[in-house]
Amino acid sequence: MNAAVLCVGKLKENWQREGCAEYLKRLSRYGRYEIVQVDDLREPENASPAQIRQIVDREGQALLRQIHPGDRVVALCIRASAPDSLQFAERVRAWSADGRRTLFVIGGSNGLSDAVLARADERLSFSNFTFPHGLMRVILLEQLYRAERICAGEKYHK
């Protein structure tokens, strides 16, 4: 599969960087996977809803600049379907079949802009819980690795 995790902000914790690096290494045998980061914007203390919306919109503009016209965009958000691992593997199989680059978009701490959600071809949830963005990157990469193993008919942890 040709895929990228498009996300806001840099990883601050060593264990998150190491986890992402490990899963990217494992995924390399199944296709081209990469991380594309845009800068997160500092939120002022006691930010108003309008200020937060401006930050989300500016981060959204930065994300949209990284998306090519032919890309499939999968926005990660809570308000979406949450497939199990086998269902996710079937989606990965279908996405891989057409050769388009698939971008999995993870927003900043205040979520994704309306413009990014409008550009998304699909929305995907991993849980009703909210996860720290660095952890979500690791979870997403692990699930992509699991999906690739399932698609390849390899053994995976159930």
The pLDDT score that the predictor gives to residue 158 is: 59
pLDDT at 26: 97
pLDDT at residue 72 in the model: 98
pTM of the model as a whole = 0.94
Residue 146, class by beta-carbon neighbours within 10 Å (0-12 exposed, 13-18 middle, 19+ buried)? buried
Write out the chain's pLDDT in tens, 158 residues.
999 999 999 999 999 999 999 999 999 999 999 999 999 998 889 999 999 999 999 999 999 999 999 999 999 998 898 999 999 999 999 999 998 999 999 999 899 999 999 999 999 999 988 888 899 999 999 999 999 999 999 987 75
Q: How far is CA 103 from the centre of its chain?
A: 7
Query: Which distant-in-sequence residues (6+ apart) come within 8 Å of 54 by Cβ?
Result: none
Distance (Å, whole) CA 66 – CA 135: 22
- H-state helical runs in 4-158: 14-27, 49-65, 85-97, 114-119, 133-151
The pLDDT, as a whole number, for residue 156 is: 78
**Domains in the chain with CATH codes:** 2-151 (3.40.1280.10)
∠ Cα 93 94 95 (to 5°): 95
DSSP 64-98: HHT--TT-EEEEE-SSS----HHHHHHHHHHHHHT
